[in-house]
Structure 1
Amino acid sequence: MNEEQRNELSQIREKSSDEGNLERIKQKTSEDFMQYFQTTYQPPNMRDAQRRKKKDTEVHYDFSIPEDMNLAGQGKKYMIRTYGCQMNEHDTEVMAGIFEEMGYESTSNQKEADVILLNTCAIRENAENKVFGEIGHLKSLKVENPNLILGICGCMSQEESVVNRILKKHPFIDLIFGTHNIHRLPQLMKEAMFGKEMVVDVWSKEGDIIENLPRARKGNIKAWVNIMYGCDKFCTYCIVPYTRGKERSRMPQDIIQEVRHLAAQGYKEVTLLGQNVNSYGKDLNIGYGLGDLMDELRSIDIPRVRFTTSHPRDFDDRLVEVLAKGGNMLDHIHLPVQSGNTDVLKIMGRKYSREEYLDLVRKIRLAMPGATLTTDIIVGFPNETEEQFQDTLSLVEEVGFEAAYTFIYSPRDNTPAAKMKDNVSMEEKKDRLHRLNKLVNQQSADAMSKYEGEVVDVLVQGESKNNPDVLAGYTKRNKLVNFRAPDAVIGKIVPVRITKAKTWSLDGELVEEKVEVK
């Protein structure tokens, strides 16, 4: 595309204040705009990701808002819609912190917003469909307010096919960036505000670790703390190793300092985050793993410490030993199994067998007899037989999972599993999901029924979603409890007697004579 064509496209975007102009952009973009961007940036490449090699990750402590963007958001508002996992939620907290340091205010009203970001998830096809549906709805806002900045970020932005689709079909989007360059948000916003072309800043290369990023955390009761980024497991169905990059662990002292700071601020619970949290520290080569980190966190005056998400292959004896010490180490463990059949696990690239998973469960039960286990399970993996699915059902029964996130297999572009032939009909997949959920629901109800009449400690988070006159909170084992009590107990850990058990929650009454901060 020559300079004259580029200028014409810039003028069209600048004047896109009505539907007709937006349609003109779309038509123009179909060839020339795509040609321009495909020669100016390198999209995420799946083959490059699979060939990546270990290298030292640089740690930076020098983040700051550029001087010319310090006051860029004064009198303006931002809105971030978040899809997906806790990691995405935490990324949103970081972006919100950066926006607020630039002077922006948060809003939940999209018509008030001067900038709207969609922080996306790529793990399932349905998540992507939701985002593209939302992009379509945002188009009318751009027509009404051409100065509105619309941005797409997160895991979907790291997929080559997604970036190309946005470039081709949604040229009214102003900004696309990925998971490795959140710290560049001020610079990207500057380009989007003052430039005339779509800003695309997506890296195939690995990101470094930026330690002093601001965060606008939700509330002051529970907090997420990233301890590592990326994943090196390359399960055949999973896109995360491509969208999040290789495993990069934070230094222990930086994590410990952050948790101590949260404890000083009065937080009652932290959840350590990582795509494969159990492999924490392996890339540091200092003989220090998740169990060692958790052991140090035991001495910090914060009541509850959790972690997610675990991979069974990396759940070692040291971690079991530390969790068994109790204290602020909780015995609720989320341990994704994905399938109960060894052959399916092998095709999934999970690198453990059914027997090895059950051996790990026995080891955990021996060290922590009261441990609560939850899991993730995929049904309908390509060519899964009924016999193999029965192995999953029997494993669920044997382990006694008290909850499970269950899914029908969703193919992701460029993953090995997406290229596999599949002779299992959707009707059969849905039937298997129904049977699995029936079993999990029954096990959850049975586990919940044992709480009736018991007094449990509940960390009170706030009003119930369904009734503003009722408060809600969670036990150490992550059971949701609803009960009536004064608002003064919000943010405290209080004793509650369970009066009624349901499938997924508990009803209770405050044991008032014992109410005190823990």
Structure 2
Amino acid sequence: MSDVITLGCRLNIAESEAIRTMLPDNDLIVVNSCAVTEEAVRQTRRAIRRAHRERPDARIVVTGCAAEVEREAFAAMPEVSRVVSNLKKLRSGSYSPFASSEVEKRISTSLDTNGSQVQTHARAFVEVQNGCDHRCTFCIIPYGRGPSRSTPAGAVIERIRLLVDQGAQEVVLTGVDLTSYGDLTGDSLGLLVERVLKAVPALPRLRLSSLDPIEIDDRLFALIVGETRLMPHLHLSLQAGDDMILKRMKRRHLRADAIRLVERIKAARSEIAIGADLIAGFPTETEAMFANSLRIVDECDIVFGHIFPYSPRRGTPAARMPQVEPEVVRARAKRLREACAERQARWLDGLVGTRQQVLVELDGRTGHAENFAKVELGVPLPLARGARGGNSSPGDPRAGPPPAPPASGRGEILRTLITARRGDTLIGSPE
């Protein structure tokens, strides 16, 4: 039996599902790797070794960003049969037992427009953009993904129509640098979103993956705040909240730009939930600089924080800058995570007692609201006398037993009464 092991971003998740449909029915394991941090590369190596221990007779093929930037090192691993480049990972011939086992040495600049058009869980991910033309000083991804390139809008629309015909209730547009969409034709992400919503009226929910705040133009902004089928959840690539650190990262926005954008969004559509990437312990970061990043959690109302302790990537400019002590990096990352968790808990508590439209996952037990809050589904939970549902926490006996899964509704959107919070998850009862 063939299988795919996925590490890293949503784009990798989408591509892995596409790869899964291409695999021959034999003992083949594809490891779709991540290189965003050194830890991600280590996890890739551990995944390869674990897969080999568990299935010693299976052939292991490695692809993804870690395999792209450290291809010779992965090819030299005795467990690995083949390394496939990112540009060829979505070509079915790459996984044929007769494909060349030589490590690919050249990166083609041609665009493979086959892309992914697959359904993951109850949501479908559609890759519309790949690669990146920017050179943030900390980032290795452009070296693994190549230059920015977009899938033509007509092809994107046809994929989404197919997915909706197959029952998809929500589509997520993904890319490495999604807001740079349009390099082939001069189109923009906003125009693509407009065309998708107009051409596929049967699509109930459209969601966007990570956005660069400096590239959200007026057309896209108007859709974000005014189009109800565009989900009220944005993930922003902020990275830091201090201007000097942002400049040293070679980011194109300042903290005031991020704050002003979120204020404008919230003023026009208050229910939008904000997520963000933040890096702790970037080289030269002082305690005062870090304090600015810590404050931006509240200033931008970040309820979904993706926190990364800085990890030097060989070959990037940031790796040559004066480094922060590792224990300080870890401590700052912990403080950022705690700040985001507190902000999220307050936000989730405010949703208790409301009714949310929840897309039920295929397990029938969980789902996501339009604002991407995770919801565990079942019967209303009993609470202790006088207890507030919004204050329950992991391990809190007031949260009661896990709810029973609903008898139906998998892959459907259900109106759900939110009755409590357990940690980072809401508890809801479908009506």
What's 2:106 paired with? Answer: 203
What's 2:320 paired with? Answer: 419
Deviation at 1:348, TM superposition (A): 0.5
Q: Work out whether 1:492 is the aligned partner of 2:416.
A: no
What's 1:150 paired with? Answer: 60
TM-score, length basis structure 2: 0.88
Alignment of 1:226-237 (within 5 A): 226-237=127-138
Partners of 1:486 and 1:503 in 2: how far apart?
21
After superposition, the Cα gap between the structure-2 partners of 1:494 and 1:313, relative to the gap in structure 1 and judged at 3 Å, is: same
Deviation at 1:140, TM superposition (A): 4.9
The equivalent position to 1:361 in structure 2, one of 258, 262, 277, is 262
> Contact conserved, 1:305 with 1:329, CA < 8 A, in 2?
yes
Secondary structure of the equivalent of 2:333? helix
The equivalent position to 1:117 in structure 2, one of 30, 35, 59, is 30
Structure 1 residues 204-243: Cα deviation after superposition (integer angstroms, max 9, x where no partner):
33241233x6866445x31001111111111111111110
Secondary structure of the equivalent of 2:103? strand
What's 1:384 paired with? Answer: 285
After superposition, the Cα gap between the structure-2 partners of 1:269 and 1:141, relative to the gap in structure 1 and judged at 3 Å, is: closer
Alignment of 1:42-191 (within 5 A): 77-99=1-23, 104-105=24-25, 114-140=27-53, 145=57, 148-159=58-69, 162-168=70-76, 170-186=77-93, 189-191=96-98
> Contact conserved, 1:228 with 1:250, CA < 8 A, in 2?
yes
What's 2:188 paired with? Answer: 289
Deviation at 1:308, TM superposition (A): 1.1
Deviation at 1:184, TM superposition (A): 4.1
Secondary structure of the equivalent of 1:243? helix
What's 1:474 paired with? Answer: 368
> Contact conserved, 1:95 with 1:215, CA < 8 A, in 2?
no
Partners of 2:92 and 2:358 in 1: how far apart?
38
Deviation at 1:173, TM superposition (A): 2.1
Deviation at 1:138, TM superposition (A): 4.5
Secondary structure of the equivalent of 1:436? helix
After superposition, the Cα gap between the structure-2 partners of 1:319 and 1:191, relative to the gap in structure 1 and judged at 3 Å, is: same
Partners of 2:240 and 2:422 in 1: how far apart?
27
After superposition, the Cα gap between the structure-2 partners of 1:90 and 1:463, relative to the gap in structure 1 and judged at 3 Å, is: closer
Structure 2 counterpart of 1:234, which letter? R
Partners of 1:403 and 1:140 in 2: how far apart?
36
What's 1:32 paired with? Answer: none
After superposition, the Cα gap between the structure-2 partners of 1:453 and 1:303, relative to the gap in structure 1 and judged at 3 Å, is: same
Partners of 1:293 and 1:331 in 2: how far apart?
18
Whichever of the two has the greater Rg, that structure is 1
Partners of 2:51 and 2:232 in 1: how far apart?
44
After superposition, the Cα gap between the structure-2 partners of 1:191 and 1:124, relative to the gap in structure 1 and judged at 3 Å, is: same
What's 1:349 paired with? Answer: 250
Alignment of 1:313-462 (within 5 A): 313-422=214-323, 424-462=324-362
Deviation at 1:137, TM superposition (A): 3.6
Deviation at 1:416, TM superposition (A): 1.1
Query: Which structure 1 residue ranges, 5 or more long, are not aligned?
Result: 1-76, 106-112, 465-470, 512-518
Deviation at 1:202, TM superposition (A): 4.7
Percent identity, please: 28
> Contact conserved, 2:119 with 2:168, CA < 8 A, in 1?
no
Partners of 2:79 and 2:293 in 1: how far apart?
46
What's 1:21 paired with? Answer: none
> Contact conserved, 1:181 with 1:207, CA < 8 A, in 2?
no
Aligned Cα RMSD in Å? 2.0
After superposition, the Cα gap between the structure-2 partners of 1:87 and 1:428, relative to the gap in structure 1 and judged at 3 Å, is: same
> Contact conserved, 1:228 with 1:248, CA < 8 A, in 2?
yes
> Contact conserved, 1:279 with 1:289, CA < 8 A, in 2?
yes
> Contact conserved, 1:321 with 1:367, CA < 8 A, in 2?
no
The equivalent position to 1:245 in structure 2, one of 121, 146, 149, is 146
Partners of 2:262 and 2:106 in 1: how far apart?
39
What's 1:505 paired with? Answer: 425
Structure 1 residues 391-427: Cα deviation after superposition (integer angstroms, max 9, x where no partner):
11121111111120111101112111112121x2222
Deviation at 1:368, TM superposition (A): 1.7
Partners of 1:421 and 1:431 in 2: how far apart?
18
Partners of 1:477 and 1:218 in 2: how far apart?
18
Secondary structure of the equivalent of 1:498? strand
> Contact conserved, 1:442 with 1:503, CA < 8 A, in 2?
no
TM-score, length basis structure 1: 0.74
Secondary structure of the equivalent of 1:200? coil
Alignment of 1:248-327 (within 5 A): 248-281=149-182, 283-286=183-186, 288-299=187-198, 300=200, 301-327=202-228
Partners of 2:22 and 2:161 in 1: how far apart?
22
> Contact conserved, 2:375 with 2:426, CA < 8 A, in 1?
yes
Partners of 2:426 and 2:50 in 1: how far apart?
38
Structure 2 counterpart of 1:204, which letter? I
Structure 1 residues 96-131: Cα deviation after superposition (integer angstroms, max 9, x where no partner):
2222xxxx34xxxxxxx5111111111111111122
Secondary structure of the equivalent of 1:487? coil
